[in-house]
Amino acid sequence: MLGYTSGMTNFSTILNWQGQKWRWLIPILLVLLFLATLIWLPWQAQRMEATDRQEQLIADTLWVEQAIQFQLNRNEEILRLIGAEIDNSHLPPNAVLERFRTLMKSNHEIQRIVWFDENDSLLASTSDAPLPPKATLIPARGQSALAHGKTQCMPPSLGTNGKNAYLLSCHIPLVKDGQAKGSIVISYRLAGILDEMVPWWFAQDNQISLIDPDEKVYADRSAGGSGKNVYTHIRALDLPGTQLSLRTNSNKSEPKLLANLLVLSVILLSIGLIWSLAALWRDINRRLAAEGALRQQVAFRAAMENSLVTGLRARDMEGRLTYVNPAFCKMVERTAEEIVGRIPPMPYWAPEAIAEYQQRFTQLLAGTVPSEGFETIYQRANGERFPVLIYESPLVNENGVQTGWMSSILEISELKRAQDLSRQQEEKLHASARLATMGEIASMLAHELNQPLAAISSYTTGAVNLLEAGNSDKELMLQALGKANTQAQRAGQIIRSVHEFVKKREPSREPVSIAAVIDESMPLIELQAQPFYVAIQLSIEPKLSPVLADRVLLEQVLLNLTRNAIEAMQANSPARRILRITAETANPHEQDGPALIVVSVIDQGHGIPADVAEKLFSPFFSTKSGGMGMGLKICRTAIEFHGGTLTHRDNPAGGTIFRFALPVSQ
């Protein structure tokens, strides 16, 4: 009995489990059925609407194609009637031309109409533009069709009204009793065909194009915007001799998934059912899941805040400090308890910048939050100052209401040190480049100084000889000493130019005349040009506005660019060794910023290959065997230091044009 009872208990348990299984299975099946309906109905509705739109587009395209074809055929018939009238009434060219113009007044898509006789001689034309002979435009097969009285059209060609203004020219033969009586050529603007023959309502909903079999677009009209490439159709035009098609591209997108109220109702009911089934399970597990998530979030937030190197600071609408992270406390060397809850002035404010802090704090309270970061200084507890970069943003709660401001603070001491070091290295590099430049022109300088010194020696020797000979001609003595003085001043000017160029100094930006910079650099430029017999041409716009720049840095840039230009022309014939230097004001109407002073160094040398141009301004890249590869890099850095740009392009006459542009001093 005990075994029987135990067996019955197990059997009952199995039945209960099976019953519970079926009770859960039926709702799951219903849910799956609803989900299948939810997916199928919107998809089916979407497909039906898409099919309807495509069919409507095809019908409209066919209608437009027939309208275009009808108008072209109508024009052909009118021209054939004019041709018959020409033959029957022997109309003079002026009367024929008047009929052509009457036809063009009512058909604005026509560009011109031309009448040829049987010998292809031009009798009348509505336009003075030249027209190639018919025999060069119509292939042999088309010529045969013309001989049988059939109209032939030429492939589209560019007209004279501008870029992409394609024309379609059709030859209409005039034949009577099997004999050719001449021909009439009518030329259509393909863009005009779309503008005049396509209804506005169709162009508003579609992008219409005339294309060839290679899908080259000859004309396009898109009043309502570009097509979405969702609904398209191509319809060939019946134009003998050419293959043009009318392509329509609807600017309508795919139909929305929820296109009708019935589908939306089914979806809402299905969502409601799924939500009601899931609500019970969600409510049971929500509390435990929320508690676990809260613990994880608190732990994660604490770990994140402790690991940040960026200082975070929160303030309420009154400016009271409500939160700081450990990174900020470490930055100012104060604990959170010391500063949280305080209102300005803050203990980490530097006394010398109190006015700046108060101004920014007032702007913040007024709701003026800077869109970009700003730099200032803070002080640590021991009084040490350090630079910081601060970003401010509104602090908004879960209801979208602003409750204060959030700040991100970055200590930029290392960045400042790196910038200072980089600036110092750059200055050393500029100095080295100037010394390298002077090393190259040292020998030329010695040769150039030898001439005025030799002249001084000759003039003074002559004066001594005059004195020794007892000649008291004062005028002759003054001439000799004056010439010696001129040569001494010339030598002194050369030495002063070199001294100003190579001496170590801090960059100083001040209003500088570009014309004066070029004039003061000319002695050194001429020194570089003389050994290679290079002629120098100057073209400086009068009364150039000054630029805010360092004069010596600009002289260094000019010398580097002119030296490169001179070396590029070494292999030229003497007649082509011409170096041009121009300075002009850029047209302020061609740019958004202030006016620019543009200096160009133009040579007729070997030019710059494309593979070299890509790396031209890279550091340590040089095409010279003994070059350091820093000259052009230094030039670009110096110009960008002044807020300008340095570019290059090919010289149409051969060689290269280097241009640097600097903003006019405001």
pLDDT tens digits, 124-148: 888 776 665 554 455 544 556 566 6
pLDDT at residue 504, rounded to an integer:
47
Helix (H, G, I), strand (E, B) or coil at 524: helix
- Read off the pLDDT of each residue in 17-22 and give the average, rounded to a whole number: 53
pLDDT at residue 263, rounded to an integer:
62
The ranges assigned to domains in the chain are: 65-250, 308-411, 412-506, 508-666
**In terms of pLDDT, which residue wins out, 104 or 476?**
104
Kindly state the greatest CA–CA separation across the chain: 166
Q: Which helix (H) or strand (E) holds 511?
A: strand 510-512
Instruction: List, as one string, the DSSP characters of 474-506.
Output: HHHHHHHHHHHHHHHHHHHHHHHHHHHHHS---
Helix (H, G, I), strand (E, B) or coil at 251: coil
Question: If pLDDT is split at 50, 70 and 90, which confidence band does 602 have?
Answer: very high
| pLDDT cut 70: percent of the chain above it | 74
pLDDT at residue 625, rounded to an integer:
47
- Read off the pLDDT of each residue in 226-247 and give the average, rounded to a whole number: 85
- Does 508-666 match 65-250 at the fold level? no
- Read off the pLDDT of each residue in 396-404 and give the average, rounded to a whole number: 84
The Cα 501–Cα 528 span in angstroms is 15
Question: If pLDDT is split at 50, 70 and 90, which confidence band does 603 have?
Answer: very high
Of 576, 500, 577, nearest to 534 by C-alpha is 577
- pLDDT tens sequence across 162-215: 556 888 888 888 887 777 778 888 888 888 888 888 888 888 888 899 898 888
At 385, the amino acid letter reads R
pLDDT at residue 300, rounded to an integer:
81
Helix 551-568 and helix 413-468, axial crossing angle in degrees, nearest 10:
70
CATH superfamily name and code, 308-411: PAS domain (3.30.450.20)
Query: Cis link prior to 344 (omega < 30° from 0)?
Result: no
pLDDT at residue 2, rounded to an integer:
41
The answer to whether 528 touches 571, Cβ cutoff 8 Å, is no
Question: If pLDDT is split at 50, 70 and 90, which confidence band does 599 have?
Answer: very high
Question: If pLDDT is split at 50, 70 and 90, which confidence band does 8 have?
Answer: very low
Place of tokens 């300075």: 583
The answer to whether 138 touches 154, Cβ cutoff 8 Å, is yes
Residue 493 has pLDDT above 80, yes or no: no
pLDDT at residue 60, rounded to an integer:
86
Maximum average pLDDT range among 9-18, 139-148, 278-287 = 278-287
Mean pLDDT of the chain: 77
The Cα 188–Cα 241 span in angstroms is 15
| pLDDT cut 90: percent of the chain above it | 5
Reported pTM: 0.37
Give the CA-trace dihedral at 27, 29, 34, 36, to 10 degrees.
160
pLDDT at residue 238, rounded to an integer:
84
- Looking at the domain that runs over 508-666, which CATH code has it been given? 3.30.565.10
Quick one: tokens of 315?
A: 């303030």
Residue 116 has pLDDT above 90, yes or no: no
Residue 478 CA from chain centroid, whole number? 67
Strand pairing partners for 600?
A: 582, 659
- Which range is least confidently modeled, 309-323, 521-535, 619-633? 619-633
Residue 580 CB coordination number (10 Å): 19
- CATH class of segment(s) 65-250: alpha beta
Q: Could you give phi then psi for residue 396, rounded to 5 degrees?
A: -115, 135
Residue 610 CA from chain centroid, whole number? 21
Question: If pLDDT is split at 50, 70 and 90, which confidence band does 583 have?
Answer: very high
The Cα 262–Cα 249 span in angstroms is 30
- pLDDT tens sequence across 66-94: 888 898 888 888 888 888 888 777 788 88
The answer to whether 652 touches 518, Cβ cutoff 8 Å, is no
The Cα 561–Cα 440 span in angstroms is 14
Residue 99 CB coordination number (10 Å): 19
